[in-house]
């Protein structure tokens, strides 16, 4: 119950170095986030384009759009994948490449993708589905202990760049559904924020998740 109160107050819904002697190169994140170098990042993303697109707008519903994503969030997720803290079948082929990169490289990649605009999605024109998605995203469901997604991800789904809460506006439906279900099953557990999302997602039905994914996919400023 204590966690539930915290989640209702603060949260809503919300994508190791290769050798031990490289540990000294890790970036210590300051209180004020320092942006990476997008130009340098552009030279490091060739491996990423096959799935995520040249500009970070993926063409498959199962692959997340990285365009316009918050730098801090992207940076943290890339570190989780590289260090083995976050596992995903679709990322397994890229992990060896990530292990060759240091923290600054990952920060530069995050900066590169954050500079692009996410492509606008089109929500499914289903009145019942849209109504439920709108309700859950904007207001939550107090009875089921589901807080409003706006508290962390914003009214327009642009997230919180300083806190590292991801942008969800325009995100691919398939990826949103698989992510929420991964939180619900606790398969996705990297980072402190995952505990929050796990607690929220456990109270979402499959239809709730479908409605939220549809709504967020078509959400934009």
Q: Measure CA 61 to chain center.
A: 14
Same domain (yes/no): 64, 104: yes
Same domain (yes/no): 143, 93: no
Give the pLDDT mean for 81-110.
Answer: 95
CB 8 within 8 A of CB 145: yes
Helix (H) or strand (E) holding 149, with range, is: none
Asked if residue 19 belongs to a domain, the reply is no
Domain termination residue (choose one: 114, 133, 155)? 114
Domain termination residue (choose one: 75, 97, 114)? 114
Average pLDDT score over the chain: 88
Whole-angstrom Cα distance, residue 9 to residue 147? 8
Give the pLDDT mean for 1-24.
Answer: 40
Question: Residue 90: which pLDDT band, with cuts at 50, 70 and 90?
Answer: confident
The 10s digit of each residue's pLDDT in 120-136 is 999 998 999 999 999 99
Q: Which residues contact 221 (CB under 8 A, 6 or more apart)?
A: 156, 158, 169
Q: Is the pLDDT of residue 37 over 60?
A: yes
Q: Is the pLDDT of residue 4 over 50?
A: no
Residue 27's pLDDT is: 53
The 10s digit of each residue's pLDDT in 167-211 is 999 999 999 999 999 999 999 999 999 999 999 999 999 999 999
Asked if residue 126 belongs to a domain, the reply is yes
Give the pLDDT mean for 74-91.
Answer: 95
The 10s digit of each residue's pLDDT in 16-26 is 333 444 443 45
Provide the domain limits for residue 101. Answer: 37-114
Residue 171's pLDDT is: 97
**Tally of CB atoms within 10 A around 73:** 23
Same domain (yes/no): 49, 65: yes
Residue 31's pLDDT is: 59
Residue 210's pLDDT is: 98
Domain termination residue (choose one: 85, 114, 143)? 114
Same domain (yes/no): 85, 154: no
Q: Is the pLDDT of residue 212 over 60?
A: yes
Number of domain units in the chain: 2
Same domain (yes/no): 160, 209: yes
Burial of 4 (0-12, 13-18, 19+ CB in 10 A): middle
């Amino acid at each position: 119950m204590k966690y539930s109160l915290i989640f209702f107050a603060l949260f809503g819904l919300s994508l190791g170095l290769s050798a031990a002697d490289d540990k000294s190169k890790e970036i210590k994140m300051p209180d004020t986030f320092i942006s990476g170098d997008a130009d340098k990042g552009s030279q490091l993303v060739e491996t990423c384009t096959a799935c995520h697109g040249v500009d970070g707008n993926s063409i498959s519903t199962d692959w997340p759009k990285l365009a316009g994503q918050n730098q801090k969030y992207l940076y943290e997720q890339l570190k989780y994948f590289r260090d083995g803290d976050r596992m995903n079948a679709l990322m397994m082929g890229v992990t060896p490449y990530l292990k060759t990169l240091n923290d600054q490289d990952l920060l530069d990649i995050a900066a590169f993708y954050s500079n692009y605009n996410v492509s606008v999605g089109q929500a499914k024109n289903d009145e019942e589905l849209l109504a439920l998605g709108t309700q859950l995203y904007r207001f939550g469901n107090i009875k089921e202990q589901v807080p409003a997604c706006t508290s962390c991800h914003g009214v327009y789904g642009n997230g919180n760049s300083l806190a590292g809460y991801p942008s969800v506006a325009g995100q691919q439906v398939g990826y949103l559904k698989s992510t929420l279900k991964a939180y619900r099953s606790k398969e996705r557990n990297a980072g402190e924020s995952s505990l929050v999302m796990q607690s929220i997602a456990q109270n979402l039905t499959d239809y709730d998740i479908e409605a939220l994914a549809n709504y967020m996919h078509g959400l934009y400023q």
